[in-house]
Amino acid sequence: MNALRRIWAALRPGGLLLNLLPDTSHRAVEVSVGGAILRLGHLDATPRDIQDVHVTFAALQAALDARLFVLERETRFMFVDHFDTVESWLTYVAEHEQGVSIQASLLARARELLPPLTAGEVRISCEFYAARLWRP
């Protein structure tokens, strides 16, 4: 809520807040190979990820209740990360997504479908929430 109050103060009256929020609790793992896309499962969200989403939505609702902002539009869209190999995906997770656990069976299936030197990719799809809020 403190961040939203600072943002409110920084905006001119009539200004707009664009808020983008990934729903990391619903990230699908797919492998694309040979022209086919195979869904392997989901990544398990960390408890912290789930808590962060709840905290953010609660803060937004509090700001709306306090009439700091008026919700004008909201939508959802899919954001897809593409990795050319299973190893490049794992390297990215190790560097940028500490705490994300990948089920052993899912990883084994990915490696089976996309062995090294095979043309294809790993796709991680995440649903994003986007909202436009107006500052009175």
Give the binding site for other proteins (CB under 8 A): 2-4, 6-7, 9-13, 15-22, 56, 59-60, 73, 75, 77-85, 87-88, 91-92, 128, 130-132
Question: Residues with Cβ < 8 Å from 128, sequence gap 6 or more?
Answer: 20, 21, 22, 23, 76, 77, 78, 79
Distance in angstroms (rounded) separating the CA atoms of residues 75 and 54: 18
Considering beta carbons, is residue 66 or 80 the nearer one to other proteins? 80
Considering beta carbons, is residue 39 or 73 the nearer one to other proteins? 73
- Residues written for the chain: 136
Closest approach, Cβ 135 to other proteins, in A, equals 9
